[in-house]
Amino acid sequence: MAPLNPTAVLGALGAGLLSLGIGFLFGFALEQAGFGDSRKLAAQFYLRDMTVLKVMFTAIVVAMLLLSVFSGFHLVDLDKVWVNPTYLWPGILGGLILGFGFIIGGYCPGTSLVSLATLKLDGLFFVLGTLTGILLFSETVDFFAIFFNYSGAYGRLTIPDLLGLDPKLVVSGIVVTALLVFVGVERVELMFKKDRQLEPSSARPRKAAALVLLAGAVLVLFAGQPTLQAKLAWLEPELDKQLESRQFHIDPGELLSLMHNNRIRLELFDVRSEADYNQFHLLDARHVPPGKLDAAWIRNLPPEAVKVVMSNDESQAGQVWKYLTARGVPGVYILEGGINEWLEIYGTAAARPLPEKVHEEDRLRFTFPRVLGSSDQAARPDLKDSPERDFTPKVKVLKPVPMEGGGCG
């Protein structure tokens, strides 16, 4: 048995204590806001008490402002902040189910745990119902896996991406919208609950909080967000170290096994010139010139897919890898040795090596009797007839997909 690593143990202990502390503070804040009382939560839907909207919207705006300011001053890379991929139709259906459960039971899953922590009986029953729903979902998800995993899949989609606007303008607009909403819901509460009046003593801190939010919006406008060129310059030393470690370079043998694995979603991107791509490319590889790698193209990338970038050697693919990684695209790898090494291993008689004296960096080192495209056997060699290779697997599958046919996969 391997000895315990003290650093790893201390790190795990620290992470556990930090998670426990954050969870306690989060629950305490919810309880102080009154979110452990189902009657207060349900009053949201009858427009009598809008505390839920005000507290949650305030938390969203404050977090948004802090992240935007830190990003503007290069203290946080927003592309590395996890954003849940957008699955439109499952999200709408799930939101409706959650909303009905919220109205009927008076809790959402998080607030039910707060209620249970304060020993409320209705919180206990809601938590039990939530656990039952989780169990039923896990046992039946295979029946609607395609809808759940792929319906309305837009990947990492944010409001600036959707509207095509500068993020700083979106952030400032949301802050102003939030303040207007807060004023509006105060009026709505007074309409539906006549005996509720805003205490004069609470007006001053509310105005101060509004001024702080407006100051944050102005700061975001001033700081802006880093351009892609600035971000690449900022991250380049770290990205170069990762390339030098070759932890994202996958052996041709591993790529071949992935091409025959129907349990993953594999995306192949060939970034060579159109002429080289037409001469020969791997089966199902898409020709993607570097100039096409804009924000709209990146948004359409399936987040769960394993993405392999390839060029004739590695230099051009490495540059594209750095660009995609800086944009926060997950699961990107580089074909080790590029198409040239692939053809050296799996090439047929149709691929004729060029003399070494004409070899140049990232140039195709083979010639062909005609334009082959992906018609040659080397475009997807048979796994059984290919030479065996020893390699260290490096690909981490983000999400398996349902099998689409027979075989072991």
Q: What are 283-306's pLDDT values in tens digits?
A: 999 999 877 777 667 777 777 789
Average the pLDDT over 1-22 and give the result.
79
What is residue 314's DSSP assignment? S
| More confident: 344 or 236 | 344
Task: Look at residue 45 and tell me whether its pLDDT is greater than 90.
Answer: no
Per-residue confidence (pLDDT) for residue 3, from 0 to 100:
63
Q: Count of residues for the chain?
A: 409
Collapse the DSSP code of 186 into the 3-class scheme (helix H, G, I; strand E, B; otherwise coil) and give the result. Answer: helix
pLDDT band with cut points at 50, 70 and 90 for residue 232: confident
Write the Ramachandran bin of 331: left for phi over 0, alpha for psi from -120 to 50, otherwise beta: left
Q: Are 301 and 155 in contact (CB under 8 A)?
A: yes
Q: Are 353 and 326 in contact (CB under 8 A)?
A: no
pLDDT digits (tens, 9 = 90+) for 57-105: 999 999 999 999 888 888 888 877 878 888 899 999 999 998 888 888 8
Per-residue confidence (pLDDT) for residue 398, from 0 to 100:
62
| Alpha-carbon distances, residue 138 vs 97, 142, 342, 385 (angstroms) | 16, 8, 41, 40
Nearest to 295 by CA among 153, 157, 167, 88: 157
Q: Are 409 and 261 in contact (CB under 8 A)?
A: yes
Q: Strands 153-155 and 266-270: what pairing?
A: unpaired
Task: Look at residue 174 and tell me whether its pLDDT is greater than 90.
Answer: yes
Domain 229-379 has CATH 3.30.450.20: no
What is residue 312's DSSP assignment? S
| More confident: 408 or 34 | 34
- Work out whether the CA dihedral 355, 360, 364, 369 comes out positive or negative: negative
pLDDT digits (tens, 9 = 90+) for 299-328: 777 777 899 999 999 999 999 999 888 888
Task: Look at residue 403 and tell me whether its pLDDT is greater than 50.
Answer: no
- Average pLDDT over the chain reads 85
Give the Cα-Cα-Cα angle 183, 186, 189 (nearest 5 degrees). Answer: 155
| Alpha-carbon distances, residue 303 vs 134, 159, 215, 392 (angstroms) | 24, 18, 36, 24
Per-residue confidence (pLDDT) for residue 333, from 0 to 100:
96
**Residue spans in the chain of domains classed CATH 3.40.250.10:** 229-379
- Locate all alpha helices (DSSP H) within 194-314, ordered by sequence: 203-223, 228-245, 252-259, 274-279, 295-299
Nearest to 86 by CA among 172, 177, 161: 161
Per-residue confidence (pLDDT) for residue 197, from 0 to 100:
55
pLDDT digits (tens, 9 = 90+) for 124-154: 999 999 999 999 999 998 898 888 888 888 7
Average the pLDDT over 340-352 and give the result.
91
Can you tell me the distance from the alpha carbon of 284 to that of 255, in angstroms, rounded to the nearest whole number? 13
Task: Look at residue 200 and tell me whether its pLDDT is greater than 80.
Answer: no
User: What percentage of the chain has pLDDT greater than the value 90?
Assistant: 33
Task: Look at residue 281 and tell me whether its pLDDT is greater than 80.
Answer: yes
Which helix (H) or strand (E) segment holds residue 185: the answer is helix 167-192
Task: Look at residue 244 and tell me whether its pLDDT is greater than 50.
Answer: yes
pLDDT band with cut points at 50, 70 and 90 for residue 356: confident
Neighbour tally for 298: CB within 10 Å: 16
Q: Strands 153-155 and 249-250: what pairing?
A: unpaired
Q: Which two tokens stand for residue 132?
A: 């039952």
Which helix (H) or strand (E) segment holds residue 264: the answer is none
Per-residue confidence (pLDDT) for residue 399, from 0 to 100:
61
Say which residue the tokens 């802090």 belong to: 66
Output the pTM of the full model.
0.67
Per-residue confidence (pLDDT) for residue 329, from 0 to 100:
85
Q: Which two tokens stand for residue 345?
A: 């291993």
Q: Which two tokens stand for residue 319?
A: 């540059």
Task: Look at residue 372 and tell me whether its pLDDT is greater than 60.
Answer: yes
Can you tell me the distance from the alpha carbon of 265 to that of 243, in angstroms, rounded to the nearest whole number? 24
User: What percentage of the chain has pLDDT greater than the value 70?
Assistant: 92
Can you tell me the distance from the alpha carbon of 37 to that of 151, in angstroms, rounded to the nearest whole number? 36
Q: Are 324 and 298 in contact (CB under 8 A)?
A: yes
Which helix (H) or strand (E) segment holds residue 9: the answer is helix 6-32
Phi, psi of 223 (to 5 degrees): -75, -35
Q: Are 130 and 105 in contact (CB under 8 A)?
A: no
pLDDT band with cut points at 50, 70 and 90 for residue 202: low
Q: Is 102 exposed, middle or buried (0-12, 13-18, 19+ CB in 10 A)?
A: buried
- Locate all alpha helices (DSSP H) within 73-166, ordered by sequence: 88-105, 109-117, 121-140, 145-150, 159-163
